[in-house]
Amino acid sequence: MKERVKSWVLALLVLGSLIESYYLIYRLPGSDSAVMSKNLYVKTDNMGPEEKVENLLYPDKMIIHMGEDRHTLFYPGTTFYDLILNRLKGRGFESFQRRSVQDFDWDKIRSENSGIELSFGSGIPVTLLQRVMQLSPDSLFEGESIDRIWIYNVKNDSKAHAVFFSTRGDIVYEAAKADLTVQDVQQHVDFGKNWSPYTAVNGDYYLPQDKVSLVKVEMPSGMYTIEQMQSNLFFDAGSTRYIPEKDGSKIYTDSKKSLQVDQEQNWMSYSDPAALPAGDSTPAKDALEAVDFVNQHGGWNGTYRLAATEEGRQERKVSFQQYYGSYPIISVPQMQYGVINLELQQGTVSFYERSLMYTEEDQAVKQLAELPGGEELENRLARLSPDLPIKDLTPAYLPVVKEEQLLLQPVWRVTFSDGSMVTLD
């Protein structure tokens, strides 16, 4: 009888040990929300490959001026965009002269002279621009950030002009020596002759005279697990503890760093307020540090472009914009997706946020779509806020979650002078 009791007790102890082992292995902190379905589970801890900073530095658009007030636009990844940009990367620019932006009649240059205008959105530090272009800046120019480069010909002038616009808005730098001939510039401009025509509006944005064709995309999507994020961001993921929040989000912390997950938005925010400062901080150094951080803590789940290096009160904000094909994916309050944001203090990352969603691009279903142009688009723009001038008009993709699919809906992204934005489909 005693032996039988001992056998039952031993069996119960073994069973209890197995159950406890199961929970220790499969129910680590955060696993309560881990997605385990066949469509959403991801085996690797990486969200994507590492990336070189040079591959993240490129213009958001290329404006071709053909004289007689004729213009067209090329976007990233298109044939002529890549051809012209690669040629310009191999040309040298030096002996920069600092001048006032008011020294030039830009409306006349835009309408009468042939040229190529590269737009870098919110700007790119010159020391980073040197990684993709052959620049020989002096100490003054080297400390600037550039949001536009305008290379153009002037009638009856035997040399090409190259002007770099400071993000400050009142200063430009003209390269007295540019390894480009008038014929080089004209050859690049000629690529736009038979392309879709655009009309310049107040020198701020360009309105297509015809409809713009692009694709509507639907592809399978899933979500990276919280365990993967813990493994990427914490030295010892097993030491974290879970703190529930009233708004439905979840926080995991090791008492120093914290990971907050909004499961409705599939969005994560990581903060390390105790990060030790690395020392000197410049826009270029912080951008490089941000790229390294993403490389080491998840990687890049798609094609990105350095979008901004903004100075805050005590930190610098670095943002990367995700692209599908030639156009950006917009992050909106209803659907946060398509951007990676970081904050740095004295060269060290203290804040990091991005979407937890991934897509299977090789299984994408594409359908041809058109965005309005010409008079129809002009009328729709006129009905927008009359008190805020439009500063930019760009084709873009609006992300929409549809069950376990991500839909990229083509839209016009309209940006106003105060930085606010609306979309037109």
Domain boundaries, the chain: 31-49+218-360, 53-196, 362-424
> Among 286, 404, 421, which Cα is nearest to 343's?
286
Fold classified for 31-49+218-360: TATA-Binding Protein (3.30.310)
Q: What pLDDT does residue 21 have?
A: 41
Entry pTM: 0.86
Please give the structure tokens belonging to residue 77: 């990844």
Q: How far apart are CA 425 and CA 199, in angstroms?
A: 20
Q: What pLDDT does residue 247 have?
A: 67
215-240 pLDDT, tens digit per residue, is: 999 999 999 888 888 887 876 656 66
Are 344 and 293 spatial neighbours (Cβ–Cβ below 8 Å)? no
Q: How far apart are CA 81 and CA 62, in angstroms?
A: 7
> Among 223, 262, 228, 259, which Cα is nearest to 357's?
223
- At 13, is the secondary structure helix, strand, or coil? helix
Q: What pLDDT does residue 40 have?
A: 35
From residue 326, how far is each of 76, 135, 384, 406 by CA, in Å? 5, 26, 26, 18
Q: How far apart are CA 358 and CA 53, in angstroms?
A: 22
Residue 19, exposed/middle/buried by CB under 10 A (0-12, 13-18, 19+)? exposed
Low-confidence stretches of the chain (pLDDT < 70) are: 1-45, 235-241, 244-248, 275-279
From residue 109, how far is each of 92, 99, 150, 178 by CA, in Å? 23, 16, 10, 18
- Chain Cα centroid distance, residue 360: 19
Are 398 and 330 spatial neighbours (Cβ–Cβ below 8 Å)? yes
Residue 186, exposed/middle/buried by CB under 10 A (0-12, 13-18, 19+)? middle
DSSP-H helix ranges across 172-213 = 182-190
Q: What pLDDT does residue 403 have?
A: 84
Q: How far apart are CA 181 and CA 183, in angstroms?
A: 5
| Residue where the block lists tokens 């390390």 | 272
Q: How far apart are CA 336 and CA 223, in angstroms?
A: 13
- At 45, is the secondary structure helix, strand, or coil? coil
Q: How far apart are CA 299 and CA 320, in angstroms?
A: 12
Q: How far apart are CA 320 and CA 277, in angstroms?
A: 22
- Assign residue 29 a region (left: φ > 0; alpha: ψ between -120 and 50; beta: otherwise): beta
